[in-house]
Amino acid sequence: MMTKTTLFLFALLLGQFSTAQTMNKELTQEEQRVILHKGTEMPFSGKYYNFTGKGTYVCKQCNAPLYRSSDKFDSGCGWPSFDDEIPGAVRRQPDADSRRTEIVCAKCGGHLGHVFIGEGFTPKNTRHCVNSISLRFIPAQTETAIFAGGCFWGVEYMMGKEPGVISVESGYTGGTTQNPTYEEVCTHTTGHAEAVRIVFDPTVVSYETLAKLFFEIHDPTQKNRQGPDVGNQYRSEIFYTTPEQQKIAERLIAQLKVKGYDVVTAVTPATTFWKAEEYHQDYYDRKGTLPYCHKYTKRF
């Protein structure tokens, strides 16, 4: 069986990790039609047209923040409307028909829709007419969880499927080196663990549910390894961000020990989380394969 390092080197040689490829492969066919090829979704059909949640709208392709919910209004046009954007987030350019002004994400260039001036809907006299499919919504009430359970590819993949999880990022934490690289972490001298940082909506999924899932998608009895991956970067550890998270993690470990599991998972305060290189993000979704060293095992 190939280890993660072998798989990484093999994929690197094949040139799989360009930013453009990463973003495009994450989009469905319909999302590509609108975001990449400047299409338009049917009016009154988008999920955010009548949506009134409080939070931030980000780019579906690159996750850059674009609009605040406080700037959203109902124009009756059939698409989400905003009278202002987050400063610097949206770029305006002439549309192909030379009659309208197109708006795109300033970070990745993804098509959002069109902007219209002078209609008088709000005092700002501006209407950003945006396709819902170009957006993703992040609610104002969120919480962050950080887990390390072996190769972050597999943990990220499996945690990201849980309803209520808004985003999952692979990265490094718990060490001493500032802004470590993957190669440095692989020397096992930086003290970092491969971990995932999860932003979730606590009104949809609880921290306890996520912590239980964490214990059920990796083997918490393995010390400094997970499957074929060996070394302190693959240790089992929970980095809590609140005292309540610490209590929940320690209680779940106690329950597992009563069940006969010799749990070695450490529970420590969260420190700086360094996001891993882009070629580590959404690894299995981009490859279209399943994790090689993580699987679900019911323990609770």
The active-site residue, picked from 108, 151, 186, 293, is 151
pLDDT digits (tens, 9 = 90+) for 38-86: 999 999 999 999 998 888 999 999 999 999 999 999 999 999 999 999 9
Q: Tell me: do 159 and 218 sit in the same domain.
A: yes
Catalytic-residue membership of 129: yes
The active-site residue, picked from 59, 105, 129, 293, is 129
pLDDT digits (tens, 9 = 90+) for 105-147: 999 999 999 999 999 999 999 999 999 999 999 888 889 999 9
Task: Enter the tokens of residue 111.
Answer: 């098509």
3-state secondary structure of 237: strand
Task: Enter the tokens of residue 249.
Answer: 């993690």
Beta carbons of 92 and 7 less than 8 angstroms apart: no
Q: In the predicted model, is pLDDT for residue 217 greater than 60?
A: yes
Is 194 inside a domain boundary?
yes
Could you tell me the CA-to-CA distances from 249 to 35, 107, 178 in Å, in that order? 41, 38, 27
Report the pLDDT value the prediction gives residue 97, as an integer from 0 to 100: 82
Report the pLDDT value the prediction gives residue 4, as an integer from 0 to 100: 56
Which of 107, 138, 169 is where one domain is finished?
138
CA distance 76 to 63: 27
Number of Cβ within a 10 Å radius of residue 276: 23
CA distance 83 to 124: 6
Q: Tell me: do 172 and 133 sit in the same domain.
A: no
Q: Tell me: do 110 and 150 sit in the same domain.
A: no
Catalytic-residue membership of 151: yes
Which of 100, 120, 138 is where one domain is finished?
138
Domain total for the chain? 2
Beta carbons of 299 and 216 less than 8 angstroms apart: yes
Q: Tell me: do 176 and 272 sit in the same domain.
A: yes
CA distance 295 to 234: 16
